Copies of this chain bind each other. A is one copy, B any other.
Amino acid sequence: MGIFSKTCEYAVRAVFFIAQHTADGSRVGIKEIAVKIDSPEHFLAKILQDLSKRGIIQSVKGPNGGFYLDAQSLGRPLSDVIEAVDGGGIFRDCGLGLKECSSKNPCPLHHDFLDVRNRLQSMLESITIGQFNEDLNLGIVVLKK
């Protein structure tokens, strides 16, 4: 198990891919996305349906339809995707699973974890969905393998 669920990994990769391929206003289909990010097509479909419902990505049915991102979506922080898919638990929950862990009632790792989680969160909040488009085009960063 990684930091995120499989679902979330697919979601982030797909969102980056959609961003890269629809910055010009076009759409991209589920089949192509699934192949290009190496994910199970129908499973990814569910994930994108959910993101679409939540307004994090956009979609249109029918010929020339597909998924895309409007200007607002391209500017969203990546943390929105993680929150939508995995929930915000990773940013907030106790590392040892205590429900009432807090600075008043801390687990042994509370303070150290607070630091790590805050870093993770501020990192994901400062990254936007669209910011890797150029690097992806140049092949400096990749979304599969």
Contact = CB atoms under 8 A, between A and B. Distances in A.
Nearest to A92: B2
Contact of A141 (B90, B99, B108, B132): B108
A105 B112 CA distance: 31
Contact of A86 (B1, B96, B113, B115): B1
Main SS at interface, chain A = loop
A123 to B, nearest CB: 5
A145 B86 contact: no
A42 interface: no
Interface of A: 1-6, 9-10, 12-13, 16, 86, 89-90, 93-101, 105-110, 112-113, 115-116, 119-120, 123, 127, 132, 135-136, 140-145
